[in-house]
């Protein structure tokens, strides 16, 4: 009990350090759905309880729309008709997209009978505010950690593995994502007008590296910190750039978001159980919402629709076509489609996106000196990126070998030294650099 109170207070202090004013909104969201959960459970009538769920979803989404999309809605209406009031200027509360979905999933799960309503308000505040994943995810469902909120035990093995996972995430963020981000800026901003096909693909590939290692690094740190405190969050990334189809990619990328839309939107709409036409409509709805979730801009909508079209193609013919070609082509085509999709994600200005698409097919004979220099200068870094993208844990012989060596005392000592070394390296990078972008801040 006292551990929960202390962790909750620290989590609120952590959030208030970045945005003290919006702690009121976080409190409201938590206490609002705390009450809704108890209300739903006390109603023996499913029809009445359903209206409480609808009320909860409406209020939560209403707040999300007001804070995240009001300016976007205003701009699009004002482009058609003159509005008698100024554009709303509200600051986007940090993490609102994540904790809104968490509380929505809680009320729905209580309604479905998947979990019991939490009766202790402090425990529910802990669920909503856990600082490990509050700011950048993953989206944690109440049922995943319900038992650990009510009673968890400290284990040194968990604490040790948590430090290792946190160190890995910090390394991915500081050493790989930040380095990729610095190179991205030099290609997709400063040299945009002079891009050739090779440098354009090189630049957007770097962005693909940056966004993966940035977000998966934060997820690793959240999972590691959670484990140190006795919480076991689900995985959020599983080597997505090793996917052999777009469908497989979204089973591996931001798993907590894709599974949320699957369980709370796609399946309730009928999934693939009501014919092909309804299935395609459900896919379109899910991917429109996925694009919208990422940002209040048309490029995110188009990014979502892009993946909806790819899903349509896979369902209709592409997966069958893949079976006719060597698997290496399947992996390559998937990677190219995913990397190109990130260009829609990157360029909020659609005119810039159009210019970038032209650059992608600008087959100029000579590449810039700066590109060749960057390629040579970062050759070992590129090798490190590739090593991190390979799904080593999916190779059976690797897992067997690691399992047999995992308890060896020399290796255990080596892991501790490695973790300390990684933390020191990352700390030195943080101290020595002011470049530390946070891509998922706006989500």
Same domain, 134 and 221: no
**What confidence score (pLDDT) does residue 430 get?**
74
Q: Which residue among the candidates 132, 254, 294, 419 is catalytic per the annotation?
A: 294
Same domain, 294 and 195: yes
Same domain, 426 and 297: yes
**What confidence score (pLDDT) does residue 347 get?**
92
Higher pLDDT pick, 44 / 368:
44
**What confidence score (pLDDT) does residue 404 get?**
56
How far apart, in Å, are the Cα atoms of 367 and each of 40, 179, 187, 324, 374? 63, 22, 13, 36, 12
**What confidence score (pLDDT) does residue 152 get?**
84
pLDDT(168) > 60: yes
Establish if 105 belongs to a structural domain. Answer: yes
What is the average per-residue pLDDT within 425-441?
A: 69
Establish if 443 belongs to a structural domain. Answer: no
Establish if 394 belongs to a structural domain. Answer: yes
**What confidence score (pLDDT) does residue 436 get?**
67
pLDDT averaged over every residue in the chain = 87
Residue listed under structure tokens 């040299």: 191
Same domain, 119 and 19: yes
Same domain, 396 and 329: yes
Establish if 439 belongs to a structural domain. Answer: no
Q: What is the pLDDT of residues 2-40, one digit of tens each?
A: 888 899 999 988 888 877 888 999 999 999 999 999 999
Query: How would residue 441 be classed by pLDDT, with cut points 50, 70 and 90?
Result: low
**What confidence score (pLDDT) does residue 340 get?**
96
Same domain, 134 and 163: no
Final residue in a domain of this structure, among 108, 128, 152: 152
Query: How would residue 366 be classed by pLDDT, with cut points 50, 70 and 90?
Result: low
Same domain, 111 and 249: no
Q: What is the pLDDT of residues 369-428, one digit of tens each?
A: 677 888 888 889 999 999 999 888 777 665 566 555 555 565 656 677 777 777 788 877
Same domain, 298 and 209: yes
Angle at 41 between CA 37 and CA 42, to 5 degrees: 115
**What confidence score (pLDDT) does residue 403 get?**
57
Same domain, 97 and 119: yes
Final residue in a domain of this structure, among 111, 135, 152: 152
pLDDT(367) > 70: no
Q: Which of 88, 69, 91, 73 is nearest to 25 (CA)?
A: 91
What is the average per-residue pLDDT within 227-256?
A: 94
**What confidence score (pLDDT) does residue 431 get?**
72
Establish if 438 belongs to a structural domain. Answer: no
Distance CA 143, CA 115 (A): 6
Same domain, 55 and 165: no
Q: What is the pLDDT of residues 272-328, one digit of tens each?
A: 888 888 999 999 999 999 999 998 899 999 999 999 999 999 998 888 888 888 888
Q: What is the pLDDT of residues 111-164, one digit of tens each?
A: 999 999 999 999 999 999 998 888 887 999 999 999 999 888 888 888 888 988
Distance CA 46, CA 40 (A): 9
Q: Which residues span the domain enclosing 84?
A: 2-152
How many domains is the chain built from?
2
**What confidence score (pLDDT) does residue 410 get?**
57
Phi-psi region of 254 (alpha: psi -120 to 50; beta: other; left: phi over 0): left
Q: What is the pLDDT of residues 335-351, one digit of tens each?
A: 999 999 999 999 998 98
**What confidence score (pLDDT) does residue 216 get?**
94
Establish if 400 belongs to a structural domain. Answer: yes
Final residue in a domain of this structure, among 152, 177, 202: 152
**What confidence score (pLDDT) does residue 435 get?**
65
Q: Which of 256, 255, 287, 251 is nearest to 269 (CA)?
A: 287
Same domain, 129 and 196: no
**What confidence score (pLDDT) does residue 247 get?**
94
Q: Which of 118, 145, 120 is nearest to 130 (CA)?
A: 145
What is the average per-residue pLDDT within 55-72?
A: 92
- Give the orientation angle of helix 197-228 with respect to helix 156-171, to 10 degrees: 160
Establish if 208 belongs to a structural domain. Answer: yes
How far apart, in Å, are the Cα atoms of 250 and each of 211, 244, 305, 354? 15, 11, 14, 26
Residue listed under structure tokens 């440098």: 199
Active-site residue flag, 294? yes
Establish if 441 belongs to a structural domain. Answer: no
Same domain, 350 and 413: yes
């Amino acid at each position: 009990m006292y551990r929960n109170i202390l962790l909750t207070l620290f989590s609120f202090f952590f959030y208030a350090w970045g945005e003290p004013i919006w702690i009121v909104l976080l409190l409201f969201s938590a206490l609002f759905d705390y009450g809704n959960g108890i209300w739903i459970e006390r109603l023996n009538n499913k029809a009445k309880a359903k209206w409480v769920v609808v009320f909860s979803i409406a209020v939560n989404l209403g707040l999300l729309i007001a804070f995240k999309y009001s300016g976007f809605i205003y701009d699009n209406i004002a482009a058609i008709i003159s509005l008698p009031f100024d554009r709303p200027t509200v600051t986007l509360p940090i993490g609102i997209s994540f904790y809104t979905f968490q509380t929505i999933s809680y009320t729905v799960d209580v309604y479905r009978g998947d979990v019991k309503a939490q009766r202790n308000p402090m425990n529910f505040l802990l669920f909503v505010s856990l600082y490990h994943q509050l700011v950048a995810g993953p989206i944690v469902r109440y049922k995943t950690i319900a038992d650990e909120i009510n009673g968890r035990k400290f284990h040194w093995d968990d604490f040790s593995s948590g430090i290792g996972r946190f160190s890995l995430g910090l390394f991915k963020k500081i050493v790989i994502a930040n380095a990729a981000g610095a190179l991205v800026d030099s290609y997709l901003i400063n040299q945009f007008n002079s891009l050739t096909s090779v440098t354009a693909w090189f630049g957007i590939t770097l962005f693909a590296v940056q966004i993966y290692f940035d977000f998966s690094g934060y997820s690793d740190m959240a999972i590691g910190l959670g484990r140190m405190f006795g919480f076991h969050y689900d995985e959020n990334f599983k080597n997505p750039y090793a996917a052999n189809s777009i469908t497989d990619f979204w089973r591996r990328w931001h798993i907590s978001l894709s599974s949320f839309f699957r369980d709370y939107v796609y399946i309730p709409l009928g999934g693939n159980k009501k014919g092909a036409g309804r299935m395609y409509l459900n896919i379109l709805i899910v991917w429109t919402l996925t694009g919208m979730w990422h940002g209040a801009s048309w490029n995110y909508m188009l990014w979502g629709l892009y993946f909806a079209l790819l899903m349509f193609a896979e369902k209709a013919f592409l997966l069958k076509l893949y079976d006719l070609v060597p698997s290496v082509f399947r992996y390559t085509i998937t990677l190219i489609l995913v990397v190109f999709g990130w260009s829609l994600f990157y360029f909020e200005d659609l005119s810039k996106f159009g210019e970038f698409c032209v650059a992608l097919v600008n087959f100029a004979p000579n590449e810039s000196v700066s590109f060749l220099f960057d390629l040579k200068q970062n050759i070992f870094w590129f090798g490190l990126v590739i090593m991190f993208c390979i799904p080593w844990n999916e190779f059976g012989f690797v897992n067997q070998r690691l399992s047999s060596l995992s308890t060896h005392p020399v290796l255990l000592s080596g892991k501790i030294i490695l973790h300390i070394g990684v933390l020191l390296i990352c700390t030195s990078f943080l101290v020595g650099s002011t470049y530390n972008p946070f891509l998922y801040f706006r989500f």
